[in-house]
Amino acid sequence: MADETMKLDKIDVDKNSLYREDIFTDLKVATIRRLTPVKLDGSLDSQRDTLFSAETQILTPQGPLPIHVPIEAKSLEEAIEKFPAAVQLGVERLVEEAREMRRQSTSRIITPAEAGIGSKIILDR
């Protein structure tokens, strides 16, 4: 167990991959995260791209399902425009993953031992 546990003193922060996070929301359905690359001193790092992501929830019979997907955008305005399409792609991906998981589970061969049916038979001689 000790080998599987990460030692906290071994955690390294990647000083060359720092971002400042800004969150924008309409307080209804949309949350957009903007990750702006920064240098170690907190100044802007113009050598790397700003990253955007969309967050929302869709209601399902099992309850709310969080959706978190990247948005390919260069500005907040562009991210807002692309928000619906990005979320739609994220939902389609989730549906496809669910179908694939269902397909794999239905095509899986279950042995009698896995099903709890099989047991060792001892023959008396």
pLDDT digits (tens, 9 = 90+) for 37-66: 999 999 999 999 999 999 999 888 989 989
Where would I find the beta strands (DSSP E) of 15-86? 18-25, 31-38, 51-60, 63-71
**Is residue 51 one of the residues assigned to a domain?**
yes
Residue type, 105: S
Q: Regarding predicted confidence, which is higher, 24 or 4?
A: 24
**Is residue 39 one of the residues assigned to a domain?**
yes
Mean pLDDT of the 95-116 span = 78
| pLDDT for residue 91 | 92
**Is residue 113 one of the residues assigned to a domain?**
no
Residue 110 in this model has a pLDDT that exceeds 60: yes
The count of other CB atoms within 10 Å of the CB of residue 19 is: 15
The structural domain count of the chain equals 1
Domain that holds residue 97: 13-106
Cα separation of 125 and 81, whole Å? 79
**Is residue 73 one of the residues assigned to a domain?**
yes
Structural contact between residues 53 and 73, judged by C-beta atoms closer than 8 angstroms: no
Q: Which of 56-65, 84-93, 101-110 has the lowest mean pLDDT?
A: 101-110
